[in-house]
């Protein structure tokens, strides 16, 4: 076979996908894969849904593309109203984009323009967590705390003040409450040292995603960050690119905590893998200030086009119609129980954490000391490869900042049923047994 001109990643050649249905994909060689990570935590309704296809085809037959400054389009207005409704009108305005990175970029720029418009132009800096992932475009990368991705670009990104978030697995404080107190005290001190009057916004993922292996921040921390933002007069941006649109069992993850952001970025699950679409949701007064000073100086060609919005509207309606959020809660409990059982069985599973159908599994060389595997052993890649051989896709990551361990995410489509959840766990168990044998074989006698 000719070498492929694509250059996404180094590594072995990939199987060529043939087709997909529900939570399963097949490659051209006829091998079946259970999609245990919804692609990139995006195919939230599973594959090959006739209702989404029908909505897309109907829209294609009417009009696929119009430019947002030339025409209003009904699917965009309906989707925007639906999203506002899903926040219970806590965020009243919507700006569409085509990806998570664009959603984060847009939120950062909106925050900045808001302060320019409201007479505080010195507010130009952002605070974010290390580790974190907010996207790969230069603005979103600037607030990302993930060293290997940042390294080649630190000189040319906006950068941000990076602070540690709570780590309930590895902290050495007397208890979780004291840990949160210490982290918050450090964050406050860092913001004060940086001059709070220069800070436009604090951005964070309410439940961590790929960069932290679903690290939870918790109610107390999120409440106090909200209060800190209010005290320092900066905005709170929640990056719900991964957690939004049902992944954690509520429409948005912040709804578990009752901590309302000023701006919210979402994407991935909004198009559910059927079409790229994302959105920024914002408080009306922020948008009004910006619109009153000449409008938002921002936008992307494909943003909010009719086909994107019709697709996302069909996704939202399917989640509502089929009671998908209760399925997330039920399957999430089963997945949690299954992963906890695997943790009890294999000493190298250090931590299992998550919410809804967003679960992270952290691997350690020593569960007592929580020492990670040596980075060069690439254990995260090995367990992912074994899972794939067992017909299961999981989402791997080695985190080098703060969270030292290898980890993987288990994030199946939100529509997965009980039988397929059990099948997912069975395939994962087989992969873990093989991984365990390899570790024993490699261990000194």
Q: Which residues bind ligand PMP (CB under 6 A)?
A: 99-101, 104, 133-135, 205, 209-210, 239, 241-242, 267
Q: Which is nearer to ligand PMP, 105 or 423 (CB)?
A: 105
Tell me the residue number closest to ligand PMP, measured at CB: 100
Closest separation in Å from C-beta 98 to ligand PMP: 8
If the CB atoms of residues 79 and 207 are measured against ligand PMP, the closer one turns out to be 207
Cα gap 86→362, rounded to integer Å = 32
Q: Which residues contact 142 (CB under 8 A, 6 or more apart)?
A: 126, 157, 158, 159, 160
DSSP per-residue letters across 335-357: HHHHHHHHHHH-TTEEEEEEETT
C-beta of 353: minimal distance to ligand PMP in Å?
16
* 8 A C-beta contact, residue 116 and residue 388: no
- Which ranges in 87-218 belong to alpha helices (H)? 100-117, 138-143, 147-150, 176-194
For ligand PMP, give the closer residue by CB, 264 or 313: 264
What's the min distance (Å) between Cβ of 135 and ligand PMP?
4
DSSP state of 154: G
- To ligand PMP, the closest distance from the beta carbon of 242 in angstroms equals 4
Q: d(Cα 107, Cα 170) in Å, to the nearest integer? A: 31
Measured from the CB atom, the residue of 242 and 365 that comes closer to ligand PMP is 242
Residues counted in the chain: 445
Nearest partner of 166 among 185, 143, 194, 193, judged by Cα: 185
Smallest separation, CB 243 to ligand PMP (Å): 7
Nearest distance in Å: CB 423, ligand PMP: 26
Q: Are strands 24-27 and 125-129 parallel, antiparallel or unpaired?
A: unpaired
Minimum distance of ligand PMP from residue 427's CB (angstroms): 24
Query: Of 423, 323, 431, which is closest to residue 45 (Cα–Cα)?
Result: 323
In the bound state with ligand PMP, the residue whose beta carbon lies nearer, of 236 and 364, is 236
Q: Quick one: 145 or 338, whose CB is closer to ligand PMP?
A: 145
Residue 100: CB minimum distance to ligand PMP, A = 2
273 near 39, Cβ under 8 Å? Answer: yes
Closest to ligand PMP by CB, 8 or 13:
8
Partners of 156 in the β-ladder: none
Q: Which is nearer to ligand PMP, 56 or 242 (CB)?
A: 242
Q: If phi over 0 gives left and psi between -120 and 50 gives alpha, with beta otherwise, what is residue 351?
A: beta
Task: Read off the tokens for 211.
Answer: 């960069």
């Amino acid at each position: 076979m000719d070498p492929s001109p694509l250059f996404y990643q180094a590594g072995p050649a990939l199987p060529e996908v043939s087709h997909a249905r529900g939570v399963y994909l097949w490659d051209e060689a006829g091998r079946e894969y259970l999609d245990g990570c919804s692609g990139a935590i995006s195919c939230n309704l599973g594959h090959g849904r006739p209702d989404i296809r029908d909505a897309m085809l109907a829209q294609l037959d009417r009009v696929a593309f119009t430019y947002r400054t030339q025409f209003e389009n009904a699917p965009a207005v309906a989707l925007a109203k639906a999203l506002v409704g899903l926040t219970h009108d806590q965020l009243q305005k919507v700006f569409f984009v085509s990806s998570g990175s664009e959603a984060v970029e847009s939120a950062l720029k909106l925050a900045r323009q808001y302060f320019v418009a409201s007479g505080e132009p010195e507010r130009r800096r952002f605070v974010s967590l290390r580790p974190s992932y907010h996207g790969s475009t230069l603005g979103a990368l600037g607030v990302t705390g993930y060293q290997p991705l940042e390294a080649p670009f630190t000189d040319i990104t906006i950068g941000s003040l990076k602070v540690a978030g709570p780590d309930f697995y590895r902290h050495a404080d007397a208890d979780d409450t004291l840990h949160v107190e210490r982290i918050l005290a450090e964050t406050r001190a860092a913001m004060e040292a940086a001059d709070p009057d220069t800070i436009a916004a604090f951005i964070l993922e309410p439940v961590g995603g790929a960069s932290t292996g679903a690290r939870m921040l918790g109610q107390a921390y999120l409440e106090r960050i909200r209060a800190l933002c209010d005290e320092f007069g900066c905005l709170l941006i929640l990056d719900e690119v991964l957690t939004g649109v049902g992944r954690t069992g509520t429409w948005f993850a912040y709804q578990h905590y009752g901590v309302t952001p000023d701006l919210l970025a979402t994407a991935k699950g909004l198009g559910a893998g059927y079409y790229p679409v994302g959105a920024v949701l914002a408080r009306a007064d922020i948008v009004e200030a910006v619109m009153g000073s000449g409008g938002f100086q921002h936008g992307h060609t494909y943003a909010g086009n009719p086909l994107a919005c019709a697709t996302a509207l069909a996704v939202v309606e399917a989640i509502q119609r089929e009671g998908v959020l209760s399925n997330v809660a039920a399957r999430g409990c089963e997945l949690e129980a299954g992963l906890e059982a695997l943790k009890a069985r294999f000493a190298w599973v250090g931590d299992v954490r998550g919410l809804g159908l967003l679960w992270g599994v952290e691997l350690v060389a020593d569960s007592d000391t929580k020492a990670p595997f040596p980075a060069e052993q690439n254990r995260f890649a090995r367990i992912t490869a074994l899972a794939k051989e067992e017909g299961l896709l999981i989402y791997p990551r080695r985190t080098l900042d703060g969270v030292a361990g290898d980890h993987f995410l288990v994030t199946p489509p939100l529509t997965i049923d009980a039988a397929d959840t059990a099948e997912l766990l069975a395939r994962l168990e087989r992969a873990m047994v093989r991984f365990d044998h390899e570790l024993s074989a490699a261990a000194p006698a």
